[in-house]
Structure 1
Amino acid sequence: MTIFGFTALAVLLTIALASPSPLIHSRDNNVPIIDLGYAKYQGAFDSLNNVTSYLGMRYAAPPVGELRFRAPQAPANNTTIVQEANTEPIPCFQAPMGSAPTNPLEAMNKRQMVTETDDCLFLNTYFPGDSIPTTPLPVLVWIHGGGYAFGDAAMYPGSDIITEAHNEIVLVIIQYRLGVFGFLAGSEVKENGSLNAGLLDQDFALRWVQSHISKFGGDPTKVTIWGESAGAGSVIQHIVAQDGQTSPQLFRGAITSSTFLPSQYLYNDTIPELLYSEVVAQTNCTSATSALACLRSVDANALGKINVNISSGGFFGTFIFAPVVDGSFIRQRPTESLKQGKVNGKALLSITNTNEGNIFVNQTDPMSASIYSSMLFPKFGPQQANQSAQLYEDLGMPIEQNNLIMGESIFICPTFYLLGAFPGSSWKGQFAIPPAHHAQDVFYYFPSAGPPPFNNTQFLEAFQGGFMAFVVSQNPNDMIAPTITPSWKLYSEDNTQMLFNKTADNKTNIQVTPIDNAQLSRCDFWESVGALTGQ
Structure 2
Amino acid sequence: MLSLRALCLLSLFKLPGARAVDPLVNLGYSSYRGVAHATGVTEWLGIRYAAPPLGELRWRAPEAPLPSDSVIEADTHGPICLPTPGTNDTTASEDCLFLEIYAPSQASATSRLPVYLFIQGGGFNVLSSANYNGTSLIQASEMNIIVVNFNYRVGLYGFLASQEIVDNGNTNVGLLDQRMVLEWVQKYIYLFGGDPSHVVLGGDSAGSASILLHMMAYGGRDDGLFQAAAAESATFGNMLNISESQYQYNAVIERVGCGYDKVQDTLGCLRLLNASVLQANNWNIPYPSNGAGAGAPIYMYQPTIDGTFISDYTYRLLQQGSFVKVPILFGDDTNGGTIFTPQNTTTYAEMDQFMVDQWNALTPAQLQTINALYPPADIYPNSGPLWRTVSNAYGEMRIMCPSLAIGSAFSVYSTAGSWIYRYNVMDPEEMAEGYGVPHTVELAAIWGPENVVWRPYNVASGTAPASYFPGQVNAAIVPVIQGYWTSFIRSYNPNTYRVAGSPEWDQWTVYGKERIVIQTNATVMEVVDYGQQSRCAWLEANGILMQQ
Q: TM-score range by the shorter chain?
A: 0.7 to 0.9
Greater mean deviation of Cα atoms: 372-381 or 470-479: 372-381
The separation in 2 between residues aligned to 1:379 and 1:486, in whole angstroms, is 42
Q: Which residue of 2 aligns with 1:85?
A: 74
The separation in 1 between residues aligned to 2:496 and 2:295, in whole angstroms, is 43
**How far off is 1:314 after superposition?**
9.0
The separation in 2 between residues aligned to 1:32 and 1:386, in whole angstroms, is 60
Q: Which residue of 1 aligns with 2:290?
A: none
**How far off is 1:157 after superposition?**
1.4
Q: Which residue of 1 aligns with 2:489?
A: 471
Matched AA of 2:48? R
Q: TM-score, normalised by structure 2?
A: 0.84
Contact 1:89-1:153 within 8 A present in 2 as well: no
The separation in 1 between residues aligned to 2:320 and 2:390, in whole angstroms, is 30
| Residue pairs, 1:225-374, within 5 angstroms | 225-246=201-222, 248-269=223-244, 272-286=245-259, 287-308=262-283, 315=295, 318-368=298-348, 369-374=351-356
Secondary structure class of the residue paired with 2:264: coil
Secondary structure class of the residue paired with 1:124: strand
Q: 1:491 pairs with 508, 515, 518, which one?
A: 508
Matched AA of 1:408? E
Residue 214 to residue 315, structure 1, CA distance change in 2 (3 Å): farther
Secondary structure class of the residue paired with 1:530: coil
Q: 2:40 pairs with 41, 44, 50, which one?
A: 50
**How far off is 1:421 after superposition?**
2.4
Q: Deviations over 1:190-244 (max 9, x none)?
A: 1111110000000011000111111111111110111111111111111111111
Q: Which residue of 2 aligns with 1:529?
A: 542
Q: Which residue of 2 aligns with 1:8?
A: none
Matched AA of 1:359? I
| Residue pairs, 1:169-184, within 5 angstroms | 169-184=145-160
The separation in 1 between residues aligned to 2:352 and 2:129, in whole angstroms, is 39
Residue 393 to residue 152, structure 1, CA distance change in 2 (3 Å): closer
Matched AA of 1:261? F
Q: Deviations over 1:58-85 (max 9, x none)?
A: 111111111100011111122x221111
Matched AA of 1:391? L
The separation in 1 between residues aligned to 2:271 and 2:264, in whole angstroms, is 13
Q: Which residue of 2 aligns with 1:515?
A: 528
Residue 345 to residue 127, structure 1, CA distance change in 2 (3 Å): farther
Q: Deviations over 1:116-159 (max 9, x none)?
A: 21111110011112553642101010111111122267441121
Instruction: Return 5+ residue gaps in structure 1 as ranges.
Output: 1-16, 97-104, 503-507
Q: Deviations over 1:341-375 (max 9, x none)?
A: 11124110012000000110011133415444333
Residue 152 to residue 355, structure 1, CA distance change in 2 (3 Å): closer
**How far off is 1:454 after superposition?**
3.8
Residue 372 to residue 116, structure 1, CA distance change in 2 (3 Å): closer
Residue 342 to residue 309, structure 1, CA distance change in 2 (3 Å): closer
The separation in 2 between residues aligned to 1:59 and 1:378, in whole angstroms, is 37
Contact 1:31-1:131 within 8 A present in 2 as well: no
The separation in 1 between residues aligned to 2:190 and 2:157, in whole angstroms, is 31
Q: 2:99 pairs with 111, 123, 134, which one?
A: 123
Alignment length (residue pairs)? 486
Residue 159 to residue 454, structure 1, CA distance change in 2 (3 Å): closer
Secondary structure class of the residue paired with 1:430: strand
Over the matched positions of the two proteins, sequence identity in percent amounts to: 32
Matched AA of 1:120? C
Greater mean deviation of Cα atoms: 300-309 or 260-269: 300-309
**How far off is 1:185 after superposition?**
0.9
| Residue pairs, 1:10-49, within 5 angstroms | 31-47=22-38, 49=39
Matched AA of 2:148? V
- Note if 1:404 corresponds to 2:392: yes
Contact 1:89-1:154 within 8 A present in 2 as well: no
The separation in 1 between residues aligned to 2:285 and 2:92, in whole angstroms, is 18
**How far off is 1:488 after superposition?**
0.6
- Note if 1:378 corresponds to 2:360: yes
Q: Deviations over 1:27-49 (max 9, x none)?
A: xxx943212121111111111x2
Q: TM-score, normalised by structure 1?
A: 0.86
- Note if 1:218 corresponds to 2:210: no
Residue 153 to residue 33, structure 1, CA distance change in 2 (3 Å): farther
**How far off is 1:534 after superposition?**
1.2
Matched AA of 1:419? G
The separation in 2 between residues aligned to 1:253 and 1:422, in whole angstroms, is 12
